[in-house]
Amino acid sequence: MSAVRTVFVSVCALSLALGAAACGGSTVEQPGAPSPGPATSNSSSITVTITAAGLNPKTITAPKGGTLVFVNNDSVTHVPASNPHPVHTDCPELNVGPLTPGQSKPSQTLNTARTCGFHDHNDPQNDKFKGTLTVQ
């Protein structure tokens, strides 16, 4: 190997070693430096869980463009639907159809700012399965 090539290879190896050391995973915290804040989610999908005890949460505020995801953790089928019963016209995006036990379904995209109620079409008078959605 020529002397020039040997020097070139040595310089390249040294450059790689220094670059790897500079990109190492450890950091040194400076005194008085602010610590990182809690993680935040930009998700516009809100989960509504249905159990035998009812809805969780019952009162929801969602951004325009968001969705609700209904999750049926009960042992019976539920049918999330917008008020009023039985026409379901206040927030038709919430009319997701039957949810069998263990099933989940998203609503349609919530594009209109408004407040509306929703309920279980199969049990429309049961307060456990009534909720309120505000889209902002």
Whether 22 is covered by a domain: the verdict is no
| Secondary structure string (H, E, C) spanning 29-45 | CCCCCCCCCCCCCCCCE
Q: Give per-residue pLDDT as tens, 25-76.
A: 333 334 443 333 322 233 589 999 999 999 999 999 999 999 999 999 999 9
13 assigned to some structural domain = no
Q: Give the pLDDT confidence score for residue 43 in this predicted structure.
A: 54
Domain that holds residue 130: 45-135
Taking residue 104's Cβ as centre, other Cβ atoms within 10 Å add up to 15
Is residue 24 in a domain? no
| CATH number of the domain to which 96 belongs | 2.60.40.420
Block residue for tokens 């995006």: 93
Residue 50 lies in a domain: yes
Which of 3-7, 94-98, 124-128 shows the lowest per-residue confidence on average (mean pLDDT)?
A: 3-7
C-alpha pair distances (Å), 80 with each of 36, 91, 95, 103, 106: 40, 11, 6, 12, 11
- Structural domain contains residue 2: no
> How much is the pLDDT for 14?
39
Specify the number of domains making up the chain.
Answer: 1
The pTM of this model reads: 0.68
Residue pair 106/69 in contact (Cβ under 8 Å)? The answer is yes
